[in-house]
Chain A
Amino acid sequence: MGFELLSTGWLYAAPGFLGALVLLYFLKLKRREVAVSSTYLWRAALDDMRVNSPLQRLRMNLLLLLQALALLLLLLALARPVSQLGLTGTDTLLLVDVSASMQATDGAGGRTRFEQARDEARRVVEDLSRGDRAILIAFSDEARVLTPMTSSKAALRAALDDLRPTDRPTRLGEALHRVNALVAGAERPPALYVFTDGRVGPLDGVSLDERVPLHYIRVGQATDNVGIVGLDVRPASGLGEETRAFVSVLNAGAAEVEVGVDFHVDGALLGSTTVKIGPGGVAQVPYETTTSQGRLEVRLDHQDALPADDVAYALLRPQEPVRVLLVTPGNLFLDSALREDPLVWKNARGEVPVLAPDALSKDDPALLEYDLIVLDRASPEDLPPGNYLCFATRPPFPGLVDRGSMNAWKVLDWDEAHEVTRFVNFSTLLLPTAQRFGLRDGDVEVVRGDHGPLVFEARHGDRRALVCAFDLMSLPVEGAWTFDPSYPIFLANAVRWLGGAGRDKKDLLVRTGGVAELRFPAAATAATVTPPEGAPREVSIRPGDDALRLAGLDRAGIYSVALRGPAGGDPLRTSLFAANLADADESHIAPAPTLELAGRPAAAAQDRAVEQNQDMWKLFALVALGFVLVEWWIYNRRVFI
């Protein structure tokens, strides 16, 4: 059994305190004035005392000595003296959950789970003996090692102080992989402390080294929570459509709740609706607005323990022009119809870019710039990734067979639920000739003719095509479908469906902990990312990257990315994107009673099995109190010298 001081900082202050104590003795005493009938006898008594002055000095010194001893003992008590009961020199792994559910304010006095967990971790750190080491890892859906294995309590304390919760989901598995990697090379297996509410995500297939004792320090108690678990926004297309938002609201509690959902755009309340959700249920709340631009903030008007999931963000913006490349030997109908579509991007002369079929090359990087490539009577051997609208062209997808042309087609039926068939009438489509295609599994027939599919959807990898089996130029002039209003509507639908939201949606809505992908101008070399809270950070763009990928999205909210050229100065472009938690696992905040890893239960919550040290400060404080009492007795009761 040894003896040790855990926080020696107080001892450095001892000379200062003792100096102050001695200084007090040099200060002139402020004496209380008391009237007496005569000082005559007192003077005589003082004269008597003068004879014994050495004793008097000793008395003062004795009091000073007692006070100094009491002071020293108090300082020792503050230095946390412990007697070591067990072995020292152990290693400890501290895993602190910083995921979104840890922001639940269900602690005493509105303290968050995270703060409680951090306090528990601090307690373990303070209990470390000399020679003990610890490592601090913060985990959410990723694990961050914040300190190396260190015996410096100051470093651990500082790392804990700097720790902040995030809006990320939880994947303890990631952290445990880290732990296993750390433990693998260790001579002595460390003890593992997990400070969490137990909502740790799937743990299938995750195991922990057998030798590592696992302690689960549980925080949190609230179970009821209502949160936004999904937000989807369809942008206005510019054809009189409205922006539509879909909000998914989860009730993780055990009782039915009625929740108000408020929609704010740029800080102004635009609309509000109320929804009833049964226990454990999810309600879909649609919302439409004519506003096509701004920052949308959806807020639940509901008080619960976790405010972090009561809000979601999205950016409203008009749909960007679709860049269409027309690959054709010449097609009046396509060219004019595309030129009339307001959503299709046109060059300075107001023309849609056109390429001859022979000039089409798979390796042309310029092709990647286009959202949609219209192939008219082309026969490409291979295609780069992208979206294709094909007329009388077989996309080079393996298994897709062109069985040759057939005459006299009639339309039998079409899928009215498909996006490209909205408001389109195919009954007037009369075809003297068309190609017959043999579809593969997974290809989706959209329009069926009497000899086979006339319009269908086909995919191969990241190439997506809508194939029309007919040639627009071969339609009969009399009553041709190309003169029918249905034709430009069909083309516009196809442009929106193929070249539309797909890529844009991806960079509009991102999940915290996920990756945001942003397109950037070719000249950009660096970007400044400004998160919803915290300091902006610089990101460099490597040449050759097709998109700027941003990770480290810790907080939900609107992120702003300023893209800069090599010369610096004003940004070339500023892009915004929204990151949301939208994670049902995090919204289920009821803490897990146990933590089980590969069938191995952790030591129960609060069970602090590592009582290595016995606190002795009470003893020291008690002895100091004793000294103070003796000093007081001597001073006041005048019993001694």
Chain B
Amino acid sequence: MDEVALDQAGTFAEEQGPLLDQGLLARISRLDIAARKLLQGKMKGEKRSKKRGRSVEFADHRPYAAGDDLRFLDWSIYARLDRLMVKLFLEEEDQHVYVLVDASASMDYGRPNKLRYALRAAAALSYIGLVNMNRVGVGVFSSALDRTFRPERGRRNLRKLLRFLEETRPGGRTDLAAACKRFALEHPRRGVVVLISDFLDRSGYEDAVRYFVARRMDVFCLQVLSPQELDPPLAGDLKLADVEDGDVTEITVSGPLLAAYKRNLAALVGGLREFCHRRGARFLSVSTAMPFEKLVVEQLRLQGVVK
């Protein structure tokens, strides 16, 4: 509640240091991204695919049709039943992991800084994806999709990806819907989509989530809020300026006003959670006050985002 924290809510530039440190890397390298849905990939990978294909794991039989590969004919069935059946195998293929980070001006706020926290989460999830031979693509957006990292596979891309993330600079207004629509169009392959934002968008978050859900992506919304937003350390007569659009609101802080604010914030978070659950998406709202390691190792696991 002290005045210092009030005026200096923390900026992205203030916080330095690597996005991922060695200790954390060691702890999360055994994790893997968990997809709820079986997804298709381009290459034969480590993930089971819904697509039946070539692998060692048997899935089913189906009647032979002209053109089928004769190598997969089940001769023992033919001998027993005198019918030509083809063996079907579960095809294992690589999984796509998309991480979308909101880098709008509103994310450059809070102590610890929200954007930094979001980038760290993106880095951690990307790392997990890369070491598990997933194809990891990253997008950074504000009012539109600003930068993208083309999906790549393998640990060797980690450094490139981290550099990509570290080059992120905050700025611009939030337009979730536009950015997500663009990203979904550019990345048509299904996969796990992690959307990291504060979801403080006047125009709403619903469309953004819908674009991914409609493409049957496995969506995970990670909402990042700072302690200063959850419990504003404000007092007195203030002129609040919106860092994104410069909108000014004059308030006189009082018990009821703060209560109303918190009610509205809870309604926003609750609405988002409800919306996600209805559409089979996962949702987690975290405060940047939560230790980052706890988020990755504990909370994301609980949510089933990683396993």
Using a CB–CB cutoff of 8 Å, the interface residues on chain A facing chain B are 29, 31-46, 48-49, 52, 55-56, 59, 635-641
Contacts and interface: CB of A to CB of B under 8 A. Distances in A.
Interface string B231-243: 0101111111111
- Among B106, B248, B254, B255, the one with the most A-chain Cβ atoms within 10 Å of its Cβ is B254
B283 to A, nearest CB: 18
B261 A41 contact: yes
B14 to A, nearest CB: 14
23 contacts: A29-B237, A31-B239, A34-B6, A34-B7, A34-B234, A35-B240, A36-B109, A36-B229, A37-B106, A37-B200, A37-B242, A37-B243, A39-B241, A39-B248, A40-B242, A41-B268, A42-B240, A42-B249, A46-B251, A49-B260, A638-B254, A640-B255, A641-B256
Interface string B190-221: 00000000101010000000000000000000
B261 A42 contact: yes
A635 to B, nearest CB: 8
B interface secondary structure, majority: mixed
B98 to A, nearest CB: 25
Contact of A39 (B236, B249, B253, B263): B249
B184 interface: no
B242 A41 contact: no
A35 to B, nearest CB: 5
A585 to B, nearest CB: 68
B227 interface: no
Contacts of A33: 238-241
Contacts of A59: 254
B176 to A, nearest CB: 13
Contacts of A638: 235, 253-258
A37 B234 contact: no
A637 B235 CA distance: 8
A637 to B, nearest CB: 8
A39 B260 contact: no
A459 to B, nearest CB: 96
B265 interface: yes
A29 B6 CA distance: 20
- Among A41, A43, A56, A641, the one with the most B-chain Cβ atoms within 10 Å of its Cβ is A41
Contact of A37 (B226, B258, B268): B226
Range of interface residues on B (Cβ < 8 Å): 35 or more
Nearest to A43: B249
Nearest to B7: A34
* 4 closest residue pairs by CB, A with B: A638-B255, A45-B260, A37-B109, A31-B239
Given A32-B237, A46-B257, A38 B244 contact: yes
Given A37-B106, A55-B256, A638-B253, A32 B264 contact: no
- Among B6, B257, B265, B268, the one with the most A-chain Cβ atoms within 10 Å of its Cβ is B257
B250 interface: yes
A42 B250 CA distance: 9
Contacts of B200: 37-38, 40-41
Given A34-B234, A35-B240, 6 more contacts: A31-B237, A31-B238, A45-B263, A46-B257, A48-B260, A638-B258
A56 to B, nearest CB: 8
B96 interface: no
A41 B242 CA distance: 11
Contacts of A42: 240, 249, 251, 261
A39 B241 CA distance: 7
A45 B242 contact: no
A56 B258 CA distance: 13
B170 to A, nearest CB: 11
Contacts of B232: 36
B110 interface: yes
B9 interface: yes
B255 A48 contact: no
B229 A37 contact: yes
Interface in B55-106: 106
Interface of B: 6-7, 9, 106-107, 109-110, 114, 198, 200, 202, 226, 229, 232, 234-244, 247-251, 253-258, 260-261, 263-265, 268
Contacts of A41: 200, 261, 264-265, 268
Contacts of B237: 29, 31-32
Nearest to A640: B255
Nearest to A60: B252
Nearest to B233: A34
A31 B232 CA distance: 17
B249 A46 contact: yes
Contact of A34 (B110, B202, B226, B241): B241
Given A35-B243, A39-B248, A46-B249, A641 B255 contact: yes
B251 to A, nearest CB: 6
Contact of B255 (A34, A40, A639): A639
A296 to B, nearest CB: 73
A44 B264 contact: yes
- Among B241, B248, B264, the one with the most A-chain Cβ atoms within 10 Å of its Cβ is B264
- Among A37, A44, A638, A641, the one with the most B-chain Cβ atoms within 10 Å of its Cβ is A37
Contact of B9 (A32, A35, A38, A39): A35
Nearest to A639: B255
Nearest to A31: B239
Nearest to A41: B264
A640 B263 CA distance: 18
A35 B265 contact: no
A455 to B, nearest CB: 105
A40 to B, nearest CB: 6
B1 to A, nearest CB: 9
Contacts of B253: 638
B249 A52 contact: no
A38 B198 CA distance: 10
Contacts of A56: 254, 256
A594 B180 CA distance: 100
A38 B254 contact: no
Contacts of B243: 35-38
Contact of A32 (B226, B236, B254): B236
B113 to A, nearest CB: 11
Nearest to B265: A41
- Among A29, A35, A55, A639, the one with the most B-chain Cβ atoms within 10 Å of its Cβ is A35
Contacts of B256: 49, 52, 55-56, 638, 641
Nearest to B253: A638
Contacts of A37: 9, 106-107, 109-110, 114, 198, 200, 226, 229, 242-244
Contacts of B6: 34
Contacts of B263: 45, 48
Contacts of B250: 31
Contacts of A640: 255
A246 B122 CA distance: 107
A61 to B, nearest CB: 14
Contact of A45 (B110, B229, B241, B257): B257
Contacts of B257: 45-46, 49, 638
Nearest to A44: B264
B142 to A, nearest CB: 13
A56 B109 CA distance: 30
B238 to A, nearest CB: 5
A90 B238 CA distance: 59
A592 to B, nearest CB: 62
Contacts of A637: 255
B264 A641 contact: no
A29 B265 CA distance: 28
